[in-house]
Amino acid sequence: MWLSDWEDFNTLRGSQGALWEKTIPKGLTTRINIFKARFEIAARLESITFSPEFGDNTTQAYLAGTKLLLAYSAGEALVRAEDLFRDRKSSSVSSWTISRAGLAKDLLPLAKLILDNCDSHGNLNNSTQKFLAKFCEGGNSNVRPVATALRHVHAHGGLTARSITGSVENNNSGHANAIEALALALLEKCDERFSLLSKDLAARLRMKN
């Protein structure tokens, strides 16, 4: 997966010279480059390797969780670039809406597992628990709250890999594939938002020409 508008953005940046430096907020190019690097690492992560005593299920769970963590990190880097460009106070990936009805259904058992086993004592903050509880009520296609919760428990150890790939509602194949699909949905949202940012950058430069 590549950023759809990266070549257009790169061409725009290279063609404007001094106007870019005068018009675009200082540090924005650096923030965008950091986002791109995080995005590409997440998009291209295909495998991880452990010593032989770790089974395939554990490896699959950590691969999926790490891919999600990196995708979420790319989103956070993009938000920092957006905030600088739009001159606004710090915003968050947790404000995003990512609607995927089919994926929401696949993630529901795992979301319930997280909600039942992770509380505010070092695991999930109250806001994340609230949004996750609403998701677990069903009928909600916004998978972003699950991404936020999974990112947190993977980074901070709220759930083990066995919890993720083990039997949940007789699903012995686990949920690693759904987590990878969630990471992809995050990356697609990043791509969509970067395209908008790139177009807004072009519009601002046209106004200054």
Q: How many residues does the chain have?
A: 209
Domain of 98 in residue numbering reads as: 6-208
CA–CA distance, 205 with 199 (Å, rounded to integer): 10
Q: Give the predicted TM-score (pTM) of the model.
A: 0.90
Q: What is the pLDDT of residues 97-134, one digit of tens each?
A: 999 999 999 999 889 888 887 765 446 888 888 889 99
Residue 134 belongs to a domain: yes
Residue 45 belongs to a domain: yes
Please say whether the beta carbons of 164 and 49 come within 8 A: no
Residue 1 belongs to a domain: no
Q: What is the pLDDT of residues 68-82, one digit of tens each?
A: 999 999 999 999 999
Residue 21 belongs to a domain: yes
Q: Which residues pair with 168 in a beta bridge?
A: 171
Q: How many domains does the chain have?
A: 1
